[in-house]
Structure 1
């Protein structure tokens, strides 16, 4: 069945995704009855591909009332298992490449999570790249849920490699979210491979260099978690060697007292993890610093 419904207009001015929930459109009363009629008669309707595509597009309405109603229709279609996930993927790609605003993106993600069977390619091409975009708390929650709960993983390699690829582009909140995702995923594993430990060290190093209090605190909490330390202990040399320079350099800087206390605490954790590699890393760090000092032109 084809539906005689409009695709909502696109806003010319879009504000911050964190605070902008959209606008109430004046023509909403004209289409409310049509949408409600579809919703009330879902059990009688066989939707064509064109109609499904139109409904999914309706979820992107700047009017929260309209997108909520379209979402309810789409959710009923998803429950019948006749919702083609490609509609959802295409919209998320459009958001990633800045072709559409943030309106309804959390609902599109919610539908994708409901459909399930998330593939590794979708983690790499959709879920992690979304963290490079302006998001609100609802979108972030769906990203976390999709990666940590819906996606079935047996190692961290795919998730970590994608985070490592994009983490320099994460803003302050999404940097924190990346650490939360890592924490939850690690909690579901028994062991962590050497390759994953190497990527962990690189990710944490990049995120710590941003000097964001919430992220620094979260990483420090991880290194004070005995379960986390146990899982990475077999490859502690990789972790300590990969993180030492960044953590030590930050501990020597004069910056915000709270952040510096977290970094010093993390430095102590690295020492306890593997004091031999810690000492070797310190000697190497000082040697490089001394060599650079000697190479500086004298006044």
Structure 2
């Protein structure tokens, strides 16, 4: 562990624990369930969307480990291990793949210690994704990732928690600049189409609820999200709805309104 963390506070919702509640996990408190309850009032499909986010992540890392041949991953803002995790998905494809997780939530850190005992190719770092220069100098990151070879950088549902005052464009540019040629970057992000539609209204209402209860959640336009991939060559189908990115099979139901409020994509650094 690279730094000390405050004790877990069960009276204040945390990003990681709220996502855990959305995914039907058990590592959260009543205050986190209250956030889910409020979101369910305006978006009843929220748990389904949470599961879709995790399914997208697993499809992405399977692609990176298999088709792209990536064997080392930096999963930033990794969250709680509620469902299948990056290391499990990639190590089924390549048992020797190295995975370094990063998070700054104290409950996630506790799980991270357990991950260290799972195998010697899975590691955890306490760090703040808003400070890439500091995070990338962490001795665990530099020890277990070979920065002369391609790396898979995962930012799954993380950048929308970076407020504009922390300049998310510059944050992502710093990560991308640090990556070796041939690396891949995967980002999923909450989306506001900003077109006066019902989807845009739901995005604004959802953002207001999240901000009121958690103080961190920004629905951004497609253009803003696309800018986080600057300098990368996008993998087809580019920046799209999560359910349209390399689906495992034909869709049997129509997407709910809320499913159009998340965009994801993968880019390769030339």
Sort the TM-score into its range (normalised by shorter chain). under 0.3
TM-score (norm 2): 0.28
Higher helix share: 1
Higher strand share: 2
User: Who wins on radius of gyration, i.e. which is larger?
Assistant: 1
Which structure is higher in RCO with an 8 Å CA cutoff and minimum separation 6?
2
